[in-house]
Amino acid sequence: MKDLITIAMPKGRIFEEAADLLRQAGYELPPEFEDSRKLIIDVEEERFRFILAKPMDVPTYVEHGVADLGIAGKDVMLEEERDVYELLDLQISKCYLAVAGLPGTRMNDVAPKIATKYPNVAARYFREQGEQVEIIKLNGSIELAPLIGLSDRIVDIVSTGRTLVENGLVEYERIVDITSRLIVNPVSYRMKDERINELVERLTSVMQEGVKLR
Ligand code: PRP
């Protein structure tokens, strides 16, 4: 395909909102787009190739240039610190990173344990607070950790807050607000600036009108 643009999309909960946004920007994506198990989806009419990656891996594909563009949460960008440009705050998938734990508990005085999927963000945060902590990296179900005594606190995403409530946990500190970003490989941005800028303009005008979420 000539002038092909490859976009790394995050599989999982951001995916539908991101696909919705592209449709609202006037791009024709096939109806089965969201239900497919394919990891590479070509949309020839739009000269787009989508690759479906784990959210945490999206900046890696973009940094290495195998994807020109990507949609990644700010949480992932802060954790991964990849050599990519952030083009646009897409204002979708709003949530925040917070410190949480069991109610009414103090952190251990000596090297309290913090369980998280975001070891770099958590380490940086506690260093800035002047607190020495031990980070325990987990890959999911982070809320389990304080419930079974693996950690004193967790650093994790809060969206609706349901997971915390249903597991009897409370929020102690809010670290940073998160939304999804459109990111670009610096070389792709130079080589394919016309098509990329068109996409940015179309997405910007959708956001100015207010993104309609389902
Ligand atoms: C995320 C996050 C929390 C939950 C927050 O987990 O890690 O566990 O969502 O959402 P809520 O505030 O709306 O309850 P995810 O479902 O992505 O799965 P994970 O446990 O694999 O991280």
Which residue segments constitute the domains of the chain, with CATH numbers given?
Answer: 5-93+179-213 (3.40.190.10), 95-177 (3.40.190.10)
Q: Which atom of ligand 1 is nearest to the CA of 13?
A: 17
Protein residue with least CA distance to atom 1, ligand 1: 157
Complete DSSP assignment for 91-114: --S-EEEEEEESTT-PPPSSS-EE
Task: Dump pLDDT digits (tens) for 58-110.
Answer: 999 999 999 999 999 999 999 999 999 999 999 999 999 999 999 998 888 88
pTM (two decimals):
0.93
Region 165-172: mean pLDDT is: 98
pLDDT above 70 as % of the chain: 97
Which pLDDT value is given to residue 214? 53
In terms of phi and psi (left: phi > 0; alpha: psi -120 to 50; beta: otherwise), the region of 182 is beta
In angstroms, the CA 126 to CA 139 distance is 20
- Mean pLDDT over each residue of the chain, to the nearest integer: 94
- Dist. CA 4 → ligand 1 center (Å): 34
Which pLDDT value is given to residue 104? 92
Task: Dump pLDDT digits (tens) for 181-190.
Answer: 999 999 999 9
- Dist. CA 59 → ligand 1 center (Å): 20
Which pLDDT value is given to residue 1? 63
- Dist. CA 164 → ligand 1 center (Å): 9
Q: For tokens 């179309």, name the residue.
A: 202
